[in-house]
Chains A and B, each alone.
Chain A
Amino acid sequence: MSNIPENLRYSKDHEWVSVEGDVATIGITDYAQSSLGDVVYVDFPRAGDKFATHEAFGSVESVKAVSEIFTPVGGEVVEVNEGLNDAPESVNNDPYGDGWMVKVKMDNPGEADAMMSSAEYEEYLSSNG
């Protein structure tokens, strides 16, 4: 069973978003990391890069597979989790904590509200997972 914290918002591409003010912290869900398997490499954008909603901003790679990560919300990257360069396994071990990937200053903070709630994401997983 996947862990789906209630305080986060979710995308259909299995990203999660945590919002503080107009800054969204973005990572991939427990379901996504479990499907990928052992994560060995995360390819990030740079701070300052700007992305539109649903643009590929990087990739997360396991031994077996590559998965692109999409921005669930548009905006400017203000910070990336450099810790994942040395410990990419954090994405597996702590997907909602140390495994976070980027922080984005949102162009339109309302976008995050329009994402799925934990209950909706759970429903989405059970019908599409």
Chain B
Amino acid sequence: MSTELKKTPLNGVHRELGGKMVDFGGWDMPVQYKAGVIEEHMATRTRAGLFDVSHMGEIWVEGPDAIAFVNRLTTNDVTKLADGQAHYSCFTNHDGGVVDDLLVYRFGPERLLLVVNAATTEKDWAWIRSHHSEHDDLALRNASADYCQIAIQGPRALEILKKLTETDLTGIKYYWFTEGEVDGVPAIISRTGYTGEDGFEVYAAPDKAVQLWNAMMHAGSDDGILPCGLAARNTLRLEAAMSLYGHELGDDIAPLEAGLGWITKLGKEAEFIGKDKLAAMKEAGLKRKLAGFEMTEPGIARDGFDVYINGEKAGVVTSGSPAPFLKKNIGLAFLPAEFANPGQEIKVDIRGKQVAAVVVPTPFYKREK
């Protein structure tokens, strides 16, 4: 049955915890648990939050040409990665639009792991295979079903996870990873996340997911760890101004427009798909840019609402929400480049009412280190 929702190995756990389940890109996922999105969000900002992200896709690229191949498909410079290091990147199409955003993990000179979005895993898999020529000496493997992924995020995440592993977690720097054990389970331990907090993402065999989840919940109980659903994941990433595919990123949006110039390495040696278009776009100057804004009058901007500047429609809100930690109503919108600077006054059309907002610097939230 093609209409049946996919389930992660933690589906039963979510239901036991009172998770409110929704269809998220074909996956049956908890949007929130009993505590509610605000409590979950605050737990992650001030203590720790636990997230099931097992729906994410994992694709192995292995062989002598692995690095050259991924470098041809993605915007960041894979040759700069060391063993045990990861980076954020994008697959771009021939127009310079974003096929998906992803993490690239380098396990060895001939071994890379690509972690992609859940809803786009099949699209990415087809895209990657379509660019695999007979001259590329490598093997591709869609291993999405071979992993569960659990993210533990927040200022207490390190101390909590320490209780469950002999791996020196402090020694893992941000955007580095190692292979070790968590609660006796072989795992990839990655110091990454999608919340703007310190924390880890743990990959392991799916049949160990429930054990790992329960071990982390138990280890974090004194610290007030809370299970967190997709709603909190979204508000956390929005406060940190991290892009969400299908919102700030898409097939017709260039990474440069979305503020991802820092992972678009036009100067790298390798040609990558869409590089010429992106270089030309940069040369000509960007027409639109992603801008962060906060509401200055009561009202909440939501995804898809129109933005007006000087009485004319100037853009669209890509993500808009109350920000539970900042206690403001914030959003991201594509605006003409000349209007995308902090201080610019804009209006958001909220159900027919023009409500004032102002462009502000991003990220909205930055943790203290």
The interface of chain A, by Cβ under 8 A from chain B, is 37-38, 40-41, 43, 59, 61-64, 66, 92
Contacts and interface: CB of A to CB of B under 8 A. Distances in A.
Given A37-B32, A38-B36, A38-B38, A61 B300 contact: yes
Contacts of B36: 37-38, 92
B298 interface: yes
Interface residues of B, number: 17
B322 interface: yes
A37 B231 contact: yes
Interface in B316-337: 321-322, 324, 329
Contacts of A66: 300, 302
A125 B351 CA distance: 28
B235 A63 contact: yes
Given A63-B322, A63-B324, A64-B31, A37 B300 contact: no
A40 B321 CA distance: 10
Query: Top 4 A-B pairs ranked by shortest CB distance?
Result: A40-B322, A38-B38, A63-B37, A38-B36
Contacts, number: 37
A64 B300 contact: no
Given A37-B36, A37-B37, A64 B351 contact: no
27 contacts: A37-B20, A37-B32, A37-B37, A37-B231, A38-B36, A40-B300, A40-B322, A41-B299, A41-B300, A41-B329, A43-B298, A43-B299, A59-B351, A61-B300, A61-B322, A63-B37, A63-B231, A63-B321, A63-B322, A64-B31, A64-B32, A64-B37, A64-B231, A64-B321, A66-B300, A66-B302, A92-B36
Counting chain B CB atoms within 10 Å of each CB, the highest count among A38, A59, A61, A92 belongs to: A38
B249 to A, nearest CB: 21
A38 B36 CA distance: 7
Interface string B345-359: 000000100000000
